[in-house]
Amino acid sequence: MKRPQHSPWLYRFAIATALTTLVLLGIGGLVTSKGAGMAVPDWPTSYGYNMFWLPFSWWKGGIFYEHSHRLIAAFVGLLTSILAAWIWGRETTGRVRWVGWATILILVMMLGHRGSGNASGVGVDVPFHFKLLAGLMPILLIFSVVQCIRTRGALRWLAMAAVFAVIFQGILGGFRVALYKDQIGIAHAALAQLFFTLICSIVLLVGRWWNEANAEPLAKEPCLRHWFLAATVLIFAQLALGAAMRHQHAGLAIWDFPLAHGQLWPDTSPDAVLRYNQQREELVALNQITAGQVRLQMLHRIGALLVTIAVTVSAWLTLKRVGQGNPLRKTALAWLALIGIQVALGVSTVLMNKPADIATAHVVFGAFSLATGVALVLMTWRSEILSFTPDGSVLPSSDIAVAN
């Protein structure tokens, strides 16, 4: 079995999946920004209807955002399944190929099966097979990632990980509705960022550049790699903090910048928090601001500063140590630009009282920043990923496929 050649159509399909995922991220962000997460109170049905047959006349107000989110999520799930089946089919033969395809098909059918009822209410009637999938998917996801690492980036395991991740993500979204748990919403938002990054990584790995045998060798300087990795981890931590803030459903806990409630570090005494709640002008149903939320927002500001420093240093080091024409240079500069936009969006979110479109753009550019960081990490490790030997030499691609 030989390592498959670059397929332009697979590459295009992967890009389409990534773009659709981006739309999904955007509409998911809008659902939270508009406070519409519970506008469709049941799941997996929508107002008792099969999700795909909810009459269009019902798509009003918050229902429009939440229901569109569900439909686009289903579409992303379908695209991801096709992408994974495609990649799996290219890299395997015989019984292994059929086992992979059957796994994907069974999972898609299980998701499509509504079960004995719809769930709305704590512990109420969540169909058993969804509980089963919720328990099984994280295990399979970890297994796929381990397999991917063990086989030095065999793409089929990465694609399979994407299938397990998208299913787990869908079920988390459903459980958020059915169980009324904000904490599930935080996990749902964080996994959304990771899933988008995973799909973007697949786009990179099926691209022409990655698969060209004589692609320009990239810098292997440990210093540069470590900066990329550290900045990317910081970005993810920052995104998780942001998700935790958004899913408190309390709006802005601090609404001035660069100071916070007029101070470098805001007062979080009970009297001060009472005053913040009194002074703010909430136009939608928001939870009360707490001292914890004020501190969380301050942590997010500190995180933004650290990310900005880490990405700036990474870009500066890249320009300094990597030769002209190397794709790392352009990517690192694009990364720095993304972080600049992201900071501007964050500041605008605060100063403009969190408009839904700006807050959502902040989520989307956060996802872009994370995906770019992961792409840079992968690019600097390309030769190792493609190689089985400790010295980093690239083996013939056919050997890589056989060893898998």
Partner 1 sequence: MNMKMTNCFLMAASLVAATQITTAADVTGKITLKGTPPEEKVLPIDPLCGKLHTSSLKTRFYVTDGKGGLGDVFIHIKSGLAGAAPAPSATPAVLDQVGCEYTPYILGVQVNQKMKVLNSDPLLHNVHPTPTAEGNKEFNKAQLPKGPPIEAVWSQAEILLRFKCDVHPWMFAYVGVVEHPYFAVSSKDGSFAIKNVPAGMYVIEALHRKTGKPVTKEVTVGANGAVADFTIELQ
Enumerate binding residues for partner 1 (CB under 8 A).
Answer: 34-39, 41, 47, 58, 60-63, 66, 120-122, 180, 274-275, 277-279, 281, 283-285
- Nearer residue to partner 1 within complex by CB, 63 or 319: 63
Residue 362 in tokens: 């902040």
- Nearer residue to partner 1 within complex by CB, 50 or 279: 279
Shortest distance in whole angstroms from residue 48 CB to partner 1: 9
Shortest distance in whole angstroms from residue 254 CB to partner 1: 17
Residues 150, 151, 152, 154: what is their CA dihedral angle, to the nearest 10 degrees?
-130
- Residue 296 CA to residue 302 CA, distance in Å, equals 10
- Nearer residue to partner 1 within complex by CB, 129 or 280: 280
Shortest distance in whole angstroms from residue 360 CB to partner 1: 15
Shortest distance in whole angstroms from residue 308 CB to partner 1: 32
- Nearer residue to partner 1 within complex by CB, 62 or 112: 62
Shortest distance in whole angstroms from residue 40 CB to partner 1: 8
- Nearer residue to partner 1 within complex by CB, 132 or 352: 352
Shortest distance in whole angstroms from residue 241 CB to partner 1: 24
- Nearer residue to partner 1 within complex by CB, 121 or 135: 121
**Mutual angle of helices 291-321 and 327-351, in 10-degree steps:** 160
Q: Which of 37, 34, 71 is nearest to 54 (CA)?
A: 71
DSSP lists the bridge partners of residue 49 as 46
